[in-house]
Every structure is written in structure tokens, then in C-alpha cells.
Structure 1
Amino acid sequence: MPKPTSEAGDLFAAPASRAGRVRAGIGGWTYAPWRDNFYPAKLVQRRELEYASRALTAIEVNGTYYGAQKPATYAKWRAETPDGFVFSLKAPRYATDRRVLAEAGKTIADFVDGGLAELGDRLGPINWQFQPGKTFDAADFGAFLELLPRTLDGRALRHVVEVRHASFLCAQYVELARRHRVATVFTDSPKYPSFADLTGDFVYVRLMRSEAAQASGYPPAALDGWAARANAWAMGEEPDDLPRVLAPAARTAARDVFVYFINGAKERAPHAAMGLLERLRGAA
């Protein structure tokens, strides 16, 4: 097994005092092309999470978008992963893929109260992903944000919304999300709106341009750039080379940063995440 890259309280802090922590990972851990590529030859499938959680510092779980998991499953994930590692969970589609978002209260409660507490400190941000056809309605979207619970068993919950329609590229949305202190996904994608306005207390990035021709997923210079941006966010600064709706704010408090290599040439995603972590270790 690889040496763990994450230790509790020491997750590649940016090279400055009082910096946030930066984690990097992939979507899921079960994917056939990762065998004999990312995973060692002959590693049994039941040990893939154990391995991935020691090579990376976070994983985004897509399965929760399609169906509920049992509390025992969350407890098992926690037991198989090291201190400091976190799971970001995709919230169920039944909460976000609906005409009236204000009516999602029961679905939200069922998901949050359905065993997430079993993850304990392994529970990272919850990603509420919306369909590309879902347009921005300030009143209804605001009502949805009001429904998101702020704590679970005494632990603060971190919520992030992934909006995929150009109507969200407006000051009214950014200001609404900021009032509710809910983060917005920055998606580096040719398909969806990409805007880096900070709306919550942490940063959540989904990178979707991995290339099959690149052994490291992204060209080395591109990984250098994302490492620099992650460090800037962690120190409370904002990168000056990303699109925004509003002008960047003055330097703020340190933020935790979550970077996921998702989609694109998925077979390269683990190598891209490990390449980013290597750069963050060097910077720290």
C-alpha cells in the first residue's frame, strides 16, 4: 500500500501561516481502467478504497446521487480510510432535479439524516448538483438554500452547489449564495458555466479536461497553475486568471480547498490528482 498522503491536521497547507488545507482527489474509486494503471496489479477490488485513500486526500462519491447508501456502508468507508481523508458526497438527484426546489425539504432531510453521521470527520462537502436545464429563479433557489441543514450531530455541514445554466452568471445569484454562505463549484469545463466567484467558506473545484495523451492527465504546466491557484485560495486570496461575475473581493480568511479531477480522460484522473498533490507538498 502507498504511504498515506494525509495526516490529521497536516493536509498540504499552503506555504503561509494560517492557510487553509488543500485536498485533491477523483470521482469514486471503482473504475476498471484504473486497474494495472493506478492500482497495482492483482490488487483485489475490495481493497481499492483502502489504496486510493492513501494515495489521494479526498474522493467525490457519485453513487449517492442515484441512490441512498445504508448507514453501515458509510461506517465501512470511514473504517477503511485514514485520518484526514474526506468524502465529498453528491446529494440525491431527487432533491435538485425538480421543478419547485422549495419542495425538496423531505428529500434533503432523508439524505442528511440517513446515515451521513456515520462518516464522522470523513464527511466533506455535500455537492448539490443541478441539471443543465435548471434556470436561476432567485426566490425558489433561495428557498432551497434555506432548507440545507447547517449541522449534523454537532458537526458543521459544508454545502456546495453546482449550477449548470448560464442564467446563474449574474450578480443576484452570487449575492444570494453569499448570504447563505453556500459555496459554488468552479467547473473547468467546455460544457458548463465556469465562474470562480467565492460564495462560501471553502473552495470546491471540478477539473474536467484530463487528456488521454498526457500520462499525468494534465500537462505539467497546467498542474503547476492549478497548484498555484489552490495555494492562493487556501491563503484567502483569489487567482487573477479565472472568469468571474463580480470583481474579486479583498483578501479574506484562509479557506479549505477541494480539487477533484472529474471526467475528461477519466483513466488519467488519479495521476493528475497525485501530480497536484506532489506540487502542493513541494510548495508546503
Structure 2
Amino acid sequence: MSSSEKNVRLSVGDAELTVDPANGCRISSLRIGGTELLRQGERYGCFPMVPWCGRTENGRFHNGDVLHQLPLNSPPHAIHGTGRDTTWLTAKEGGTDAAFYYDLAEPWPYPGRVTQTFELAEDSLTLAFGIETYGDSFPAQAGWHPWFLRNLGTGGDDVQIGFDAAWQEERGENHLPTGRRIPPLPGPWDDCFGMPDGVDVTLTWPQQLELKVKSRTEWVVVYDEQDEAVCVEPQSGPPNGLNTAPHYVTPIDPLEIVTTWSWRRL
């Protein structure tokens, strides 16, 4: 294992973060006061969704008149991008911050570079993505898929999810947004919500910890259909957004997105 593939550990105060660049540059652990917040396992933690988020319908998207076909890793769709299955290289690592990158390659049809940075403070973690092109413009998305433990295992109650969304993307039988925006429905959810003033979701483990997920982006997917964990996923566009709400990465306009998780003990 080269130095660029070794886990990178950041710590400040009683916060400890571990990033695994060899396994998709995912956060494999986030501990606050020794308590793990993320579901453990090579598929879990918090992984990057890049260069697309959620499901892309039938794995197909257009760039102008050109139709591209992506591998169907969640048939009949392509899901969550290629970054989580890629070894990233370490550009910088310090006591409280780190940066990683990888170059886009097949099966993604356009050359470019993706960077991800981590900044850890005593009471917050700031994550940022950048996607730049080496040539042609292309549609892309970026976001994060954290698996927060439903129960922290310290004898307390399960997590509560709180948010106030302007709308919910109606989900069709194919698990993709239909294009209709509806009033937010009660959970359980595997749904995309719109927050035009910015993503703002609060996770509360009663009498234990409160964690806020914020981002200036207006899209968030909330998933709480599993017993072990819940997911709050800020992302730069809705599921199938390569087709329905494309954000074009151009030589002078990279895609950039930031999210901050902040916490306090209760």
C-alpha cells in the first residue's frame, strides 16, 4: 500500500475523523468524545457521490446531441457515481485538514479532476468538492452519502430527523423524481427535498448529541428505511439530475459544493 492509499486521521479536541482514500475517499469513522457516529463497514461511513448523485435513469444521459451509457450498477439505473469505487490520491494531510483528488476516467466519458477537502474543528466538519474539466464541458453532480447511526449504542434513544423543506420531489415507481413537486410527506423516506434557502437538517440523539447538516445547495436526499442508519445527503442536483437539471462543468466554471456538519452535546 502506497502512502497515498493509507488512511488519513484528523483530530482536534475530542473529535476524530478517519478518511480512507483507497476505498473511495470515504469517511470511515467520525468519533465525538469516543462515540462513533457513522455506520461501520466498507460500504458505509460517508462516501462521495460524484460525478453524479443518486440514480441516473437507465444509466443514460446526454451532453448536447451525444448520448452516453453508464454501467447499470443498480439495474435498471446507474447509481451514485464512480468516485466511491476509485482510489483517490492524497494531496495534503495535516492535523486538522486534508485534501484528496482523482482523475475522471472510464466509464465516465469526459476527462477531468475531482478534489475533496476535509476541515475538522472541535465542533464541526466542513467538506468540499470541486470538479474541473480537462477539455470539453460536461454535466455533473456532486454530493455526500453519510450513514449516520440510528442509535449511538450508549443506551440512549434513536435519532430524530428534523427539517423544513419547501417541497418534496414526487418519487415514481422507478425510484426517480417524476418532475412534480409536492408538499413534504411524513417518513419513512427515500426522497429528495428542495430547500431553496440552503440545506438545513438537524439530527438529534435525545440527551446525547445534536448534529446539523448544512449546505448552500438546495437539494437533499433523506433516507431512513434501514434499521441501522439514516442518511442525509446534500447534493448539487436531484436524482437523475444529469438529465433533468444538468450543471455543466466548463473550462472556466468548475462545479463546487460545500457542506458543514456541526454538533453539540445535549
TM range (shorter): under 0.3
Structure of greater relative contact order (alpha carbons < 8 Å, 6+ residues apart): 1
Bigger fraction of residues in strand: 2
Taking structure 1 as the reference length, the TM-score comes to 0.24
Taking structure 2 as the reference length, the TM-score comes to 0.25
Bigger fraction of residues in helix: 1
